[in-house]
Structure 1
């Protein structure tokens, strides 16, 4: 356990500088977005009210107020989230291939450490998971700050403060990264963790068998995909209740994660040599 924790800390530390860039970019982009969008709204509202001799109440009735929904649906808000998601997705691959193809082929030093090699695999997966949770937590903090900033920048007569749940509902993918309930959290992030384990195993297949490994890795991903979707693809769906279908998916996810870890353990011990 001690070695696993040290390796996890090491992997997180290696990504720290780029991770800090992701946090800062998200902060700056979204805060600037609040200023820009609120200023644009106030200028538009002032122009309309002057031209049509309307008061704030009449403007609100005809055009509606500004809220965090205006912010979350803007490129200022979405772009840094998309950038962070793509960066972490690429890092799922880079976290392994950097060790093989980077300077001094660092993977050989990792494999020679006096610890079970599976700890390397689990530490890399844990590092990815922690970085995802960190970005999500950062986004929740920013949403709270941006809500207060928007209320400060706009008159109360032209602004409505949305509850967090309604803010999340204003953009579909926000519900995915910030679930409404603990059950949804385990579902969404459990599937994400399964994806990471499957990709890691496919990478180890490629590293173990080289050119053939690319084919083996593709076949493995395809088999996993078919296994996971088998309840949807079979006629059995009409014979089960939704909760039973959910439990079948849950069981298949556990099997896939367990199978991926076992196969990776075998590859790291028997196929990948120093």
Structure 2
């Protein structure tokens, strides 16, 4: 047991080192784009206000009535903030695939050397899964820090008379996108990340199917993914199927979803273990 844990830590460290350049690039792009947004958006507002007062001979109050006060929500509800988030999500979806196929690149495939290590092969699976989530939570942590630094920056740039009294947390809660990635609601955040975790596990399983059976594996993977998706969304149609829209409470549907997602995750892990130990040969 102790040996297996050490092997997992060693492999995770190795994978993290390989991820570092990709992760640092995403973090750098996120911080740079956010910084531009925190400066550019309020400056554009100030410019419009000044231009209106100059051309219309209006007072500051009249300009404020025309444009409305500036909130931190306006600064974060831009592509400078949502763009890097979308880039990070798509980037890690790509990396979740690349982290496996990279091992088979080249003539002397590195995958076979990894599979020959005297450790359970699922250790490779879990090390890659952990690294993906280290990267994801690093981006989430960076974005959270960025929000609260950005709030101070916007507050410093914007004249206090033109700034709405919205807190950083209130501004974040106003944008549905951030509810998916920021732990504003702990339960909701855990459910969303749990679904994401199951998605990555299933994706890994599909990749191992393709590696095990080639073209046949792609077909099996599509069927498996379709079955998993149908099972995952089935709780939302229970009321319609049974023609009883008051049969289940929202909390009961949530528990069913958690149970189904757990079933999908466990099944995928068992299938992945079988493929790694029995089907992918050296």
- For Structure 1 versus Structure 2, the TM-score category normalised by the shorter chain is over 0.9
Aligned counterpart for 2:32 among listed residues 28, 35, 49: 28
After superposing on structure 2, the runs of 4+ consecutive aligned residues of structure 1 that deviate more than 4 Å are none
Deviations 1:209-231 (A, max 9, x none): 11100001111111111111222
Aligned counterpart for 1:255 among listed residues 263, 268, 273: 263
Q: Which residue of the partner structure matches residue 200 of structure 2?
A: 196
1:226-245 superposed matches below 5 A: 226-234=230-238, 235-236=241-242, 238=245, 239-245=247-253
Aligned with 1:77: secondary structure? helix
The Cα of 1:12 is off from its aligned counterpart by 1.5
Q: Which residue of the partner structure matches residue 82 of structure 2?
A: 78
Q: Which residue of the partner structure matches residue 267 of structure 1?
A: 275
Q: Does 1:18 align with 2:22?
A: yes
Q: Which residue of the partner structure matches residue 156 of structure 1?
A: 160
The Cα of 1:161 is off from its aligned counterpart by 4.7
Aligned counterpart for 1:171 among listed residues 167, 175, 180: 175
Conserved? CA contact 1:7–1:120, under 8 Å: yes
Aligned CA RMSD, in angstroms, stands at 1.6
Q: Which residue of the partner structure matches residue 207 of structure 1?
A: 211
Conserved? CA contact 1:207–1:272, under 8 Å: yes
The Cα of 1:169 is off from its aligned counterpart by 3.1
1:5-154 superposed matches below 5 A: 5-102=9-106, 104-154=108-158
Cα distance change, pair 214–40 in 1 and its aligned pair in 2 (3 A)? same
Deviations 1:102-142 (A, max 9, x none): 57311111111121100110111111111111101000000
Which piece of structure 1 moves more, 224-233 or 48-57? 48-57
Which piece of structure 1 moves more, 231-240 or 33-42? 231-240
Deviations 1:69-88 (A, max 9, x none): 22222222222221111111
TM-score, reference length from structure 2: 0.92
Deviations 1:36-95 (A, max 9, x none): 222211111111122333333332233212222222222222222211111111111101
Aligned with 2:117: secondary structure? coil
Q: Which residue of the partner structure matches residue 246 of structure 1?
A: 254
C-alpha distance in structure 2 between counterparts of 1:70 and 1:205, whole Å? 46
C-alpha distance in structure 2 between counterparts of 1:28 and 1:247, whole Å? 40
Cα distance change, pair 131–118 in 1 and its aligned pair in 2 (3 A)? same
Q: Which residue of the partner structure matches residue 185 of structure 2?
A: 181
Deviations 1:167-223 (A, max 9, x none): 223432111111322211210100000000000001101111111000011111111
C-alpha distance in structure 2 between counterparts of 1:113 and 1:273, whole Å? 13
C-alpha distance in structure 2 between counterparts of 1:182 and 1:37, whole Å? 30
Which piece of structure 1 moves more, 161-170 or 196-205? 161-170
